């Protein structure tokens, strides 16, 4: 459902629908990303030969400062992206269950549908396959396509728009991190923040849950499927 509706311009002008992947296309409380989070900590600890608590501190510091822990490890320590991505995405995707209702809601949206993620295409493919919605998306723009520069870097959004020929003034962006919606909003995109279901426990940093009242967030929802279905119902 929509929790907040700040703008009155609606979605009638939208011809391209852009979705983040993790914690956006599946519920936050699945905590699938928690597995990746643990693998990142292991990778950093092994690479830097530091204890788990120090690896955790470095991981979260780089995440906030660089957009992804990987970017921080590349910049500060010369880590190779292929090695990092291969390690951290070795997770169990089985907690994800097919979501035909979401698939129908996405299919009903008029226009193109694209994925814009800081993850890899391999990880995205596994997630979309488990959800049963892979067929609904034209393409996945991942961290490799972004030349290893993660959201919210402005150049990453520009690369995405250019590569896929997207007019930002006729596009909507769905994200679970408010900070990743600032640039899309500046570019003219309609922005939707997907927040956790308040009745379920989620594993997130406090700052990751902030931003609902930010000026660059047009809409907020805790039920993406219902939100999308409501758009086509109107």
In this structure, how many other beta carbons lie within 10 angstroms of the beta carbon of residue 22?
19
Residue 46 has pLDDT above 90, yes or no: yes
For 2-29+96-233, the fitting CATH number among 3.90.1150.10, 3.50.50.60, 3.40.50.150, 3.40.50.1000 is 3.40.50.1000
Tens of pLDDT, residue by residue over 185-231, are: 999 999 999 998 755 565 566 666 677 889 999 999 999 999 999 99
| The pLDDT of residue 30 | 81
Per CATH, 2-29+96-233 and 33-88 having the same topology is answered no
Tens of pLDDT, residue by residue over 62-119, are: 988 988 899 999 999 999 998 999 899 899 999 899 999 999 999 999 999 999 999 9
Here the contacts of 66-69 (C-beta below 8 Å, separation 24 or greater) are 66/150, 67/118, 67/149, 67/150, 67/151, 67/152, 67/153, 68/118, 68/143, 68/150, 69/40, 69/44
Q: Give the global pTM.
A: 0.86
Domain boundaries of the chain, sorted by first residue:
2-29+96-233, 33-88
Tens of pLDDT, residue by residue over 135-179, are: 999 999 999 999 999 999 999 999 999 999 999 999 999 999 999
Distances (CA, A) of 79 to 44, 56, 83, 85: 10, 17, 8, 11
Closest among 46, 75, 47, 49 to 62, alpha carbons compared: 75
| The pLDDT of residue 186 | 97
Helical (H) or strand (E) element with 193: strand 190-194
Residue 8 has pLDDT above 50, yes or no: no
Burial of 127 (0-12, 13-18, 19+ CB in 10 A): buried
| The pLDDT of residue 207 | 60
Q: Which residues sit opposite 5 in a β-bridge? A: 219
CATH 1.10.150.450 given to domain 33-88: yes
| The pLDDT of residue 138 | 98
**3-state class of 125 per DSSP?**
helix
């Amino acid at each position: 459902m929509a929790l907040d509706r700040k703008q009155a311009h609606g979605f009638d002008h939208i011809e391209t629908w852009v979705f983040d992947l993790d914690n956006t296309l599946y519920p936050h409380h699945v905590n699938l990303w928690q597995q990746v989070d643990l693998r990142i900590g292991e990778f950093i600890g092994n690479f830097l030969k530091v204890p788990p608590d120090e690896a955790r501190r470095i991981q979260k510091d780089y995440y906030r400062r660089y957009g992804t822990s990987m970017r921080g490890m590349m910049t500060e320590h010369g880590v190779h992206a292929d090695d990092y991505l291969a390690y951290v995405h070795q997770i169990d995707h089985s907690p994800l269950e097919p979501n035909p209702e979401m698939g129908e809601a996405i299919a009903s949206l008029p226009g193109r549908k694209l994925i814009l993620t800081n993850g890899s295409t391999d990880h995205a493919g596994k997630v979309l396959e488990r959800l049963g919605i892979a067929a609904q998306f034209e393409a996945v723009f991942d961290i490799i396509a972004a030349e290893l520069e993660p959201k919210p870097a402005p150049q990453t959004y520009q690369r995405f728009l250019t590569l896929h020929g997207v007019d930002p003034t006729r596009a909507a962006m769905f994200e679970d991190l408010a900070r990743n919606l600032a640039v899309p909003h500046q570019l003219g995109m309609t922005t939707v923040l997907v927040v956790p279901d308040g009745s379920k426990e989620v594993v997130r940093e406090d700052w990751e849950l902030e931003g609902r009242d930010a000026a660059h967030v047009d809409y907020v929802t805790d039920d993406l499927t219902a939100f999308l279905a409501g758009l086509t119902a109107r």
